[in-house]
Amino acid sequence: MGAFFVGASTSLPEIATSVTAAFEGHADLALGNAIGSVAGQTAFLALADMTYRRVNLEHAAASAENLMLAAFVQVMLAIPLLGLALPQTAIGGIHPASILTAAAYLQGVRMVSQPHKLPMWLPRHTHETRTARRGEKPRSAARLPRLWLQFALAAAMTGVAGCLLARTAIPIATHGVVGNGG
Give residue limits of the domains in the chain: 2-122+158-175
What local confidence, expressed as pLDDT, does residue 45 receive? 82
pTM tops 0.75:
no
Q: What is the pLDDT along the chain (182 residues), one digit of tens a residue?
A: 666 777 777 788 888 888 888 888 888 888 888 888 888 888 888 888 888 877 777 777 777 777 788 888 889 889 988 888 888 888 888 889 999 999 998 898 888 777 666 666 666 777 777 666 666 665 656 688 888 898 889 888 888 887 887 788 778 777 765 444 44
User: Which residue in 80, 87, 91 sits closest to 34, CA to CA?
Assistant: 80
Contact assessment for residue 48 and residue 60, using Cβ atoms and an 8 Å cutoff: no
What local confidence, expressed as pLDDT, does residue 104 receive? 93
Residue type, 34: A
What local confidence, expressed as pLDDT, does residue 17 receive? 85
User: Cβ neighbours of residue 88 under 8 Å, at least 6 residues apart?
Assistant: 95
DSSP state of 62: -
Contact assessment for residue 23 and residue 84, using Cβ atoms and an 8 Å cutoff: no
